[in-house]
Amino acid sequence: MAMDQGALVERVKHDPQFHELVRKRSRLAWTLTALMIAIYFGFVLTVAFHKEIFAQSLFGGVMTVGIPVGIGVILAAFVLTGLYVARANTTFDDMTHEIIERAGK
């Protein structure tokens, strides 16, 4: 049984569509990671070096601009995660099933 599984793994490793899947998944993951890092560090650096931007009052009240922007940073993490999960559950899963099916024959 171990030999059969080893052969299956080797066939999957040599499948051109597997390499395409790895490339697409990596590209998406790194793009979303870079975007989240830019959002997060953009927020932190703005707080560190230009406090006055986020310290401005919204609508003349107690709430400042920084509060909704901070909430936006948190929501951006959820949205970007959701984008990855949606892509993984559709395109990437479909490709994975095709690769495994073809390798099992």
Over the stretch 4-62, which tens digit does the pLDDT of each residue have? 888 888 899 999 999 999 999 999 999 999 999 999 999 999 999 999 999 999 988 89
For residue 62, is it within any domain? yes
For residue 40, is it within any domain? yes
Of residues 96, 82, 104, the one with CA closest to residue 28? 82
For residue 60, is it within any domain? yes
For residue 91, is it within any domain? yes
Domain that holds residue 13: 8-104
State the Cα angle at 105 between 22 and 91, rounded to 5°: 30
DSSP output for 63-87: -BTHHHHHHHHHHHHHHHHHHHHHH
For residue 1, is it within any domain? no
pLDDT of residue 16: 93
CB 36 within 8 A of CB 77: yes
Least confident of 56-60, 69-73, 85-89, 91-95: 56-60
Angle between helices 93-104 and 16-49 (to 10 degrees): 160
pLDDT of residue 1: 46
Count Cα atoms within 13 angstroms, Cβ side, for 103. 21
